[in-house]
Structure 1
Amino acid sequence: MASELTVEVRGLTKRFGERTVLSGLDIDLAAGEFVALLGRSGSGKSTLLRILAGLDTAVEGTATVNGTVSVAFQQPRLLPWRRVWRNVVLGLRGRGTDRELADRALAEVRLGDLADAWPRTLSGGEAQRLSLARALVREPGLLLLDEPFGALDALTRLAMHGLVEDLWQRHRPAVLLVTHDVDEALLLADRVLILDGGAIVAEHPLTHPRPRRLADHIDVRGRVLTDLGVTEHARA
C-alpha cells in the first residue's frame, strides 16, 4: 500500500517556541485522491501545507511526498512585470518550449486569449486561474491548495470549483485542499479531514457520484459542522 501513497505523514510534530501546532500527526493521501482539510483558525492547516511543500523542515516525525509538489495560494503571487504566459512557466526548464507549455496550460484554464496580457489587467478569478495553470504545468504528483478561492465572490467561487474538479479529473494529482468552507469541501473532496489540537480528530468519506449537489451531503454536513464546534446550524 505504501507504494500507492503520494503523501505519508507519521508522527509529525511542529512547534513554534512553546506552542505545539501539530502533535503526532498521521495522514495518508493516495495517488489521485482529493482530500479536504478543515479546522478552526490556528489549527495548523497552513502549517501542514508548508511542510508538505518543503517550505518548513524544522519538524519532528516524517512527511514523505512521492512526486513533485505544486502550490496554489489564496493570493496568486504573480510577478506584475512578467506577462501572463511568463508567469505560468516561471522557473520551469527542460520540459519543451516555454511558450508552448504556457499556451497549453492557459488554454486548460480558459485564459488562452490573455497569454500576452499583464497580470494587473486580470480579474480576481482570472488571476486565480493563472495560479492554477502555473501549478499544473509542472505536472505535480501533489497539488496543495491553500484556501485558493477565499478572496473570490460567490459566483466566481462556484465557477472555480467546476474548473478545479475538471482539471483534477484530467491530470489526476493527489490534492490537499485547505479551506474554511464546509460546502466547498463536500462538493470537491473524496474525504474530509478535521484538524484540531494538532491532530486529525474526524474523517468523513464522501461517496456520492460527481458532479455533486449539496443536498447529497446534508447529514455529513451536520457532522462536519459539529466536529468544527458549530453546534447550532441549519440542516438544509
Structure 2
Amino acid sequence: MATSLPTRVTTAGPAQATRVASVRGLTRVFGERTVIDGLDIDIERGEFVALLGRSGSGKSTLLRALAGLDPEATGALTVDGTVAVAFQEPRLLPWKRVIDNVALGLDRPKEAAYAALEEVGLTGLAKAWPLTLSGGEAQRASLARALVREPDLLLLDEPFSALDALTRITMHRLVLDLWTGKDEGRLSVLLVTHDVDEALRLADRVLVLGEGRIAHETHVGVARPRSAGDLIELRTELLGRLGVKEDNR
C-alpha cells in the first residue's frame, strides 16, 4: 500500500527498491508557524531509525504524515508497504477486552490477534479489560495491535516515555526481538523519542530534527547489545546537537 501527500508519488521506482519510505519536500504549517519545512528523508527496508528533537520540533508531525494521518501536510511521500503506529498512550478502548482491541478493524480471523498477543507475551491477558492492565501490559497490547497488521513500517511515537525504568528496559528488548525476528529484515522501524540513550541503544541510525528539517544524522556502528561505555562519544555529540551540555564535574 502506498500513502501519499497531496503532491503524489504513488509507486516506488527501481531506485527505491530497498526503501520502505521516501519523503521529499515535506512541509506542514500550523497557523503562521512552519513546523516542517521542506524535509527530505529515506528509510531503508529492515532499518531501525530513531528521530530526536526538542519539544515542538515536529517529530510527531512527521510520524503522522508517514502514517497518512495528516491531510494538511504537503510534499511527496511514498511508503512501499503497510504502515502501523503505536502511540505514546496505548489508546485501548476500555469497553473492549484486550483481544478485541488488538483485533479492532481486522479483516482476518481473530487467530491473527492471538498470534500478535503471543509475540508480545500477553496471551494470558487476552480476555482482560484494559483498565486492569499495568502500563507495560497496556503498551504491549498497543504494540500487538500494530503488529497484527503485519506492517512493513512500524512507527513508534514515544511509546516508552511513561513507563518506569525497568519496564522500559523490558520493552526495549521486546521491540528489538520483534524487529530482528522478522523474516529477511522486512520490518522497518521509526522511533520518535526525546531520550538520546534510548535512541542509541535501539537504532541503526539516529536523526536530529531541527528548524523543520533533518539537521544531523548519526550511524550507530556498535554491535548489539550496547553498553553505555560504547556510546559515550555519540551521546555527547547528539546532546550537543540538541543544545544540551553535560556537567562532567
Is the alpha carbon distance of 1:156 and 1:234 closer, same or farther for their aligned partners in structure 2, counting shifts above 3 Å?
farther
Quote the Cα distance in structure 2 between the aligned partners of 1:86 and 1:36.
30
Determine whether 1:141 maps to 2:152: yes
Is the alpha carbon distance of 1:234 and 1:193 closer, same or farther for their aligned partners in structure 2, counting shifts above 3 Å?
farther
Cα shift at 1:107: 1.1
Residue 179 of structure 1 is matched in structure 2 by 193
In percent, how many aligned pairs have the same letter? Answer: 66
Residue 143 of structure 2 is matched in structure 1 by 132
Q: Do 1:8 and 1:65's aligned partners in 2 also have CA atoms closer than 8 Å? A: yes
Q: Do 1:85 and 1:115's aligned partners in 2 also have CA atoms closer than 8 Å? A: yes
Cα shift at 1:232: 2.9
More deviation in 166-175 or 10-19? 166-175
Determine whether 1:150 maps to 2:158: no
Determine whether 1:60 maps to 2:74: yes
Deviations 1:209-234 (A, max 9, x none): 11222221110000000000002345
Residue 205 of structure 1 is matched in structure 2 by 219
**How large is the Cα RMSD of the aligned pairs?**
1.2
Moved segments of 4+, more than 4 Å: none
Determine whether 1:10 maps to 2:24: yes
Quote the Cα distance in structure 1 between the aligned partners of 2:246 and 2:129.
46
Cα shift at 1:104: 1.1
Q: How does 1:118-129 map to 2 (within 5 A)?
A: 118-129=129-140
More deviation in 10-19 or 183-192? 10-19
Name structure 1 gaps, 5 residues minimum: none
2:126 counterpart letter in structure 1: A
Determine whether 1:117 maps to 2:128: yes
Q: Match for 1:224 among 215, 223, 238? A: 238
SS in 1 for 2:138: helix
Aligned residue pairs, count: 232
Quote the Cα distance in structure 2 between the aligned partners of 1:52 and 1:182.
22
Residue 10 of structure 2 is matched in structure 1 by none
State TM-score, norm by structure 1: 0.95
SS in 2 for 1:162: helix
Is the alpha carbon distance of 1:202 and 1:196 closer, same or farther for their aligned partners in structure 2, counting shifts above 3 Å?
same
Determine whether 1:190 maps to 2:201: no
